């Protein structure tokens, strides 16, 4: 069944393959969409052009169909429009960065990757000093960070920087693993995946959508942290399930299914079933964790104005953790990013700009 009578990017209903269908998501996780979405899509498309992150022909042909703005508009419900726009542009940048990382690996450009890695670290610490960097990827990142740093306080900004420094280094570990054809063990992969999927970045941004920085005692409380982790684990593992054909075609080594095949001796069919099982367990565990998180949020209302506002913010954030399940699910079936069978070359996404990176 489609998530909406009309899709956000098309009026064609999406057929979910049986192997990827999750009835519990379709039935129990209602899909929502931020009312700002139509403007979000238009402005992010313009931002990609303005920052030269994708050439005009690629933006024209592929940007809307990639559904990057749909993903964010279904997650950060309640965010002020300008906050959602900044998050959506940052998310689009993240996907472009992921593609550059992949192309640097495929075309054996370790020096280019190392240079980019250091430049992103520097831009994270001094974004205003990198707004006019000659590499559009660095300049676009700096622009995103300047905007994201404007909404909450210095403490939140420092936490975001700390978390994203770790993401950059995790991408470097992926670069080395793929270069040397090293398939991580299941446990090592799951640990790395929490960083490359940027679990804590997307969770940090939930505070911006709620317009409130949470104190450490709330963020680190087991009830809050477990619900946050499970929502992100679902997204990462479901992504692995959906992208397995794409990543096998692209000679990848980072996928839960690939680790299960390589280290646990599973067949492809068995690995798909095991990843799906883990995804389903994750959903059921979240439903319990969600109750605990909401109970915890209720205890924060201690009769003071601060307590009441904090309780409301945490409840809104937990609701958006739930939204992550539905928006991730439908994104994987609407976005052209995963439609490998429609590509001329299953190992080369058609929306990737090879020429701009000096590739032939």
DSSP letters for 18-50:
GGG--HHHHHHS-----TTHHHHHHHHHHHHHH
**DSSP letter string over 73-140?**
HTTSTT--HHHHHHHHHHHHHHHHHHHHHHHHHHTT-HHHHHHHHHHHHHHHH-GGGGTT-SSHHHHH
CA distance 231 to 97: 23
Averaged over 234-246, what is the pLDDT?
89
Catalytic residue, candidates 7, 31, 95, 115: 95
DSSP state of 213: P
Given the residues 29, 32, 45, 94, select the one marked as catalytic: 94
**Tokens found for residue 30:** 């209602």
Top-confidence residue, 236 or 19: 236
User: pLDDT digit string (tens) for 298-340?
Assistant: 999 998 999 999 999 999 999 999 999 999 999 999 988 877 7
User: Residue 33 has what pLDDT?
Assistant: 94
pLDDT at residue 2, as a whole number: 39
How confident is the model over 89-102, as a mean pLDDT?
A: 94
pLDDT band at 355 (very low <50, low <70, confident <90, very high): low
Catalytic residue (choose from 141, 160, 175, 197): 197
Catalytic residue at 95?
A: yes
- Whether 6 shows a pLDDT value over 70: the answer reads no
Q: 268-299 vs 222-249: helix axis angle to the nearest 10?
A: 160
pLDDT for 40 beyond 90: yes
- Residue 205: left if φ>0, alpha if ψ -120 to 50, beta else—which one? alpha
Is the model's pLDDT at 155 over the cut of 60?
yes
Q: What average pLDDT does the chain have? A: 90
Active-site annotation holds for 337: yes
Q: What are the φ/ψ torsions at residue 56 (nearest 5 degrees)?
A: -55, -40
Residue range 136-141: average pLDDT? 97
Whether 4 sits among the annotated catalytic residues: the reply is no
Residue 50 pLDDT more than 90? Answer: yes
Torsion of CA 256, 258, 262, 267, to 10 degrees: 100
List C-alpha distances in Å: 330 to 21, 29, 72, 349.
10, 11, 12, 20
Residue 337 exposed, middle or buried by CB count within 10 Å (0-12, 13-18, 19+): buried
Supply the DSSP symbol for 190: H
Q: pLDDT of 205-227, one tens digit each?
A: 999 999 999 999 999 999 999 99
Q: Which residues contact 74 (CB under 8 A, 6 or more apart)?
A: 31, 32, 33, 34, 323, 326, 327, 330, 331
Q: What is the predicted pLDDT for the residue at 347?
A: 66
Report the pLDDT averaged over residues 83-90. Answer: 97
Q: What is d(CA 106, CA 92) in angstroms, rounded to the nearest whole number?
A: 21
Give residue 354's pLDDT. Answer: 60
Our answer to whether residue 197 is catalytic in this structure is: yes
**Residue 235 pLDDT > 70:** yes
Query: Distance between CA 55 and CA 22 in Å, rounded?
Result: 36
Is residue 39's pLDDT more than 70? yes
Tokens representing 192?
């790395």
Which is nearest to 89 in space by CA: 97, 101, 100, 99?
Answer: 97
Mean pLDDT of 15-23: 89
Candidates 340, 271, 357; CA nearest to 349 is 340
pTM of the complete model: 0.92
d(CA 204, CA 277): 28
B/e letters for 273-299, b = 16+ CB within 10 Å, e = fewer, are ebbbebbeebbebbeebbebbbebbee
């Amino acid at each position: 069944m489609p998530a909406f009578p009309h899709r956000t990017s098309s009026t064609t209903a999406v057929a979910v393959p049986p192997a990827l269908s999750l009835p519990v998501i379709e039935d129990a996780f209602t899909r929502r969409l931020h009312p700002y979405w139509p403007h979000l899509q238009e402005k992010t498309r313009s931002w990609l052009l303005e920052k030269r992150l994708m050439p005009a022909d690629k933006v024209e042909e592929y940007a809307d169909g990639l559904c990057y703005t749909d993903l964010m508009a279904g997650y950060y419900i309640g965010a002020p429009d300008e906050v959602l726009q900044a998050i959506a542009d940052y998310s689009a940048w993240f996907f472009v960065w992921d593609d550059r990382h992949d192309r640097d690996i495929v075309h054996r450009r370790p020096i280019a990757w190392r240079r980019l890695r250091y430049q992103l670290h520097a831009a994270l610490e001094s974004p205003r000093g990198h707004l006019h960097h000659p590499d559009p990827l660095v300049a676009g990142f700096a622009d995103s960070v300047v905007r994201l740093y404007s909404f909450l306080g210095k403490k939140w900004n420092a936490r975001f920087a700390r978390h994203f420094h770790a993401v950059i280094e995790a991408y470097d570990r992926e670069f080395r693993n793929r270069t040397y054809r090293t398939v991580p063990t299941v446990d090592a992969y799951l640990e790395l995946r929490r960083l490359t999927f940027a679990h804590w970045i997307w969770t940090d941004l939930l505070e911006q959508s709620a317009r409130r920085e949470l104190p450490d005692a709330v963020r680190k409380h087991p009830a809050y942290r477990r619900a946050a982790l499970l929502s992100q684990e679902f997204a990462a593992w479901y992504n692995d399930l959906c992208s397995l054909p794409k990543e096998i075609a692209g000679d990848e080594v980072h996928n839960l299914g690939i680790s299960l095949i390589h280290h646990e001796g599973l067949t492809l069919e068995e690995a798909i079933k095991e990843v799906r099982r883990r995804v389903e367990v994750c959903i059921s565990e979240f439903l319990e964790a969600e109750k605990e998180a909401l109970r915890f949020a209720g205890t924060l209302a201690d009769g003071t104005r601060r307590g009441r506002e904090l309780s409301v913010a945490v409840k809104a954030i937990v609701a958006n953790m739930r939204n992550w399940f539905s928006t991730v699910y439908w994104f994987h079936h609407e976005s052209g990013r995963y439609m490998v069978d429609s590509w001329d070359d299953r190992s080369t996404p058609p929306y990737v700009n090879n020429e701009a990176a000096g590739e032939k």
